[in-house]
Amino acid sequence: MQLTDQNTFTLQGINPVQLLEQYGSPLYVYDGATIRRKVNELQHAFSGINMKIKYACKANTNLSVLKLMRSIGVELDAVSPGELEMGKLAGYSGNQITFTPSGVPFEEVKAAVEAGSIVNIDSIPLLEWFGKTYGNTKPCMIRIKPNVAAGGNIKIMTAHADSKFGISVLLLDRIKEVVAKYDIKIIGLHQHTGSDIKDAEPFLQVADILFEAAKQFPDLEILDLGGGFKVSYLPGDAVTDMELLGNKISERFKTFCNEYGRELQLWFEPGKFLVSEAGYLLVKTTVVKEDPARNFVHVDSGLNHLIRPMMYGSYHHILNLSNPAGESKPYNVVGYICETDTFATDRNLPEVRPGDVLAFLNAGAYGLTMSSNYNTRLRPAEILIDNGAAKLVRRRETLEDLLRTQIEI
């Protein structure tokens, strides 16, 4: 993104307001150049070791985004049969897609294994089932819960003792018993701490826990440290220092590999880090309501398109692209859904008029993938800008799309 002096921006020379005029409102726009830059940044930070990126595609499953990822050597982490299928449609195959389920029916795991995915086993019952079903004929990884609390808010912390995810590190003996009983081929250990983790410290802490656990499994090939790097939602906000993290983790990883006696692969599965900043939700303002208590700006969108502010209280920066030099005023920016779908409270924006185009930044991750049809509203179209050209990569939903699954009686 190139921010201009007046708080508007262009993407690879393309004006987002023109895109909105051409494709309608609201509109998700993704900047391929940002995705490429973020992938580079991560690869560069870990260039001293054997590191692989498994993009957590729950953040954004647009097929064209997945294809872009594949074209630059990024592999995939999927959590459902739907994500696996999307990955295959984007050209991924076999063990390029890791399957990281959370308490799913075993048939889903079976389908993933049979398609060649490596599964991160997240419970003892699943491990038992895996052993009974495959013995040592298929490799798998174990998702460890390290009992470390870190992340932007409690809803997105996934490794603390009370979290549902993974098998507690305190159950290592039980894991080893089951593995021995069925001679299960464990090729890797996995963990994911949470999302929005700024400091290097929690990453180092869980890495040490994983290294320690790995000593009990002599035939590993992979250690997977998950995702969770913090991006800047509020401009200027502190983010994970990737150079620092890369240096520290790489150093410890090399020492561990020496002790372990074998060269391992280190995997990361970021979502936000790769796609959050690349995405924008463009909306139009509908009504500007000057209430005695507040100035409300309604937009033609709501929690049905971007639920992060309502679900986590997340901050998304907003620009008024139609009046960037307007006089600053405080607004509550709200949606059109019949719920309290507040995007921002008391936010200073250049004067907003009905019909102005607003841009929500950092909408590339967990935007459209967490959207819904609540209030029988339709999902926006999506545009990907890559190599200087803007292309429609999902058409706007229609009422026919929604009716397709209904059966009238």
User: Based on CB atoms, which residue is closest to ligand LLP, 129 or 312?
Assistant: 312
Helices (H) and strands (E) in the chain, counts: 12, 20
CA distances from 386 to 48, 130, 224, 278 (A): 29, 42, 30, 11
Q: Is 202 in the site for ligand LLP (CB under 6 A)?
A: no
Q: Is 273 in the site for ligand LLP (CB under 6 A)?
A: yes
Which residues are CB-contacts of 97 (< 8 A; sequence separation ≥ 6)?
Answer: 75, 76, 77, 78, 84, 87, 88, 112, 115, 117
Q: Is 227 in the site for ligand LLP (CB under 6 A)?
A: yes
- Which residue in 38, 145, 272, 284 binds ligand LLP (CB under 6 A)? 272
Phi, psi of 24, rounded to the nearest 5 degrees: 90, 170
Specify the stretch interacting with ligand LLP by CB under 6 A; choose among 224-232, 257-265, 284-292, 384-392: 224-232
- The span from the CA of 205 to the CA of 221, in Å, is 21
* Contact status, residue 151 vs residue 195, Cβ threshold 8 Å: yes
Q: Which amino acid is at 400?
A: E
Helix or strand (DSSP H, E) at 180: helix 172-182
**395 annotated among ligand-binding-site residues:** no
Structure tokens at 22: 């051409």
Which residues are CB-contacts of 196 (< 8 A; sequence separation ≥ 6)?
Answer: 151, 152, 153, 156, 228, 230, 231, 272
For residue 371, the minimal CB distance to ligand LLP (Å) is 12
**326 annotated among ligand-binding-site residues:** no
- Which residue in 36, 192, 284, 379 binds ligand LLP (CB under 6 A)? 192
Q: Which of residues 24-83 bind ligand LLP (CB under 6 A)?
A: 56, 59, 77
Specify the stretch interacting with ligand LLP by CB under 6 A; choose among 5-13, 201-209, 268-276, 290-298: 268-276
Q: Which of residues 238-267 bind ligand LLP (CB under 6 A)?
A: none
**312 annotated among ligand-binding-site residues:** yes
Half-sphere exposure of 227 (CA within 13 A, CB side): 26
Closest CA relative to residue 116, chosen from 135, 143, 98, 142: 98
**Strand bridging mode 2-3 / 279-290:** unpaired
Structure tokens at 117: 């995915």
CA distances from 290 to 294, 301, 349 (A): 7, 20, 15
For residue 289, the minimal CB distance to ligand LLP (Å) is 29
User: In the stretch 288-327, what mask flags binding to ligand LLP with x, by CB under 6 A?
Assistant: --------------------x---x---------------
- The span from the CA of 409 to the CA of 398, in Å, is 22
For residue 101, the minimal CB distance to ligand LLP (Å) is 10
User: Based on CB atoms, which residue is closest to ligand LLP, 88 or 272?
Assistant: 272
For residue 244, the minimal CB distance to ligand LLP (Å) is 18
- Which residue in 146, 226, 246, 279 binds ligand LLP (CB under 6 A)? 226
User: In the stretch 106-135, what mask flags binding to ligand LLP with x, by CB under 6 A?
Assistant: ------------------------------
Q: Is 270 in the site for ligand LLP (CB under 6 A)?
A: yes
- The span from the CA of 38 to the CA of 51, in Å, is 15
For residue 269, the minimal CB distance to ligand LLP (Å) is 4
**21 annotated among ligand-binding-site residues:** no
Specify the stretch interacting with ligand LLP by CB under 6 A; choose among 206-214, 215-223, 271-279, 283-291: 271-279
User: Based on CB atoms, which residue is closest to ligand LLP, 155 or 395?
Assistant: 155
Binding site for ligand LLP (CB under 6 A): 56, 59, 77, 100, 156, 158, 192, 195, 226-228, 269-273, 308, 312, 365-366
